[in-house]
Amino acid sequence: MAHNPLETRWQAVQARIRAAEANSGRTAGSVRLLAVGKRQPLASIEFLYQLGQRAFGENYLQEAEARMAALANREIEWHFIGAVQTNKTRQIARQFDWVQGVDRLRVAERLSTQRGEEHPTPLNVCLQVNISGEDSKAGVAPAALPELALTVAALPNLRLRGLMAIPAPAARGEDARAAFDAMAGLFSALRSMGLELDCLSMGMSADLESAIAAGSTMVRVGTDLFGPRPPTSVPHGTAKIAP
């Protein structure tokens, strides 16, 4: 019965998701877990894969590329979840299955064009919404969302799947509920406009329960799955263990 701590944490996170689904009357299995392994060792990603985890979220392109190369023959669904810089769109469009974090048309247009050069299948996209209204934060303003969503949905090599949000740190935990409810409202408004969206990506380690209660279909979990992240001073991709 001596479980690897990573296996124990993975099971605990799954249990939290299933409990949150049940508590809020959601269908069992309607919320997916995206494992966010930034700065975690490759061995941990591989271990979670062996347990059955298939969707992994990556913030750093270089780190992601090293992992994709090392795990090339696995059936992994790779999600890019960081801010997308214009000069990185080609590599992202080529190598990822999903991009969560598109917040402007120029990036979406580049991703669509560059995806088309390489792949017969469209790139799945979630638009990032600036739900907490902070100037410094990434994400499209809610007022500008409908127009961006309609335009992105019409791009040939992208498939608009839904919305993603990271509420401001001050609004995390139970207080994040208002932000999550606002996201659910935006999501349903876009669906009423005829957009076939099926992904509402919100909720992290600290607040996945309230995100699920509000209607999240994908929670992105790092810390509570992998344990504390090694510090930023460790170069990406080379981190083995926290000093």
The nearer residue to ligand PLP, 54 or 119, going by C-beta atoms, is: 54
Q: What share of the chain is helix, strand, coil (3-state, %, to 5)?
A: 45, 15, 40
Question: Among residue numbers 107 through 166, which ones bind ligand PLP (CB under 6 A)?
Answer: 166
Range in contact with ligand PLP (rule: CB under 6 A) among 7-15, 86-94, 178-186, 215-223: 215-223
Spatial separation of the C-alpha atoms in residues 73 and 59, rounded to whole Å:
21
CA 241, chain centre distance (Å): 24
Written in H, E and C, the secondary structure of 182-217 is HHHHHHHHHHHCCCCCCEEECCCCCCHHHHHHHCCC
**Contact status: 205 vs ligand PLP (CB under 6 A):** yes
**Contact status: 9 vs ligand PLP (CB under 6 A):** no
Spatial separation of the C-alpha atoms in residues 169 and 88, rounded to whole Å:
27
**Contact status: 230 vs ligand PLP (CB under 6 A):** no
Query: Could you say which of 26, 38, 115, 161 contacts ligand PLP (CB under 6 A)?
Result: 38
The nearer residue to ligand PLP, 215 or 222, going by C-beta atoms, is: 222
Interface residues with ligand PLP (CB under 6 A) are 36, 38, 59, 81, 166, 204-206, 220-224
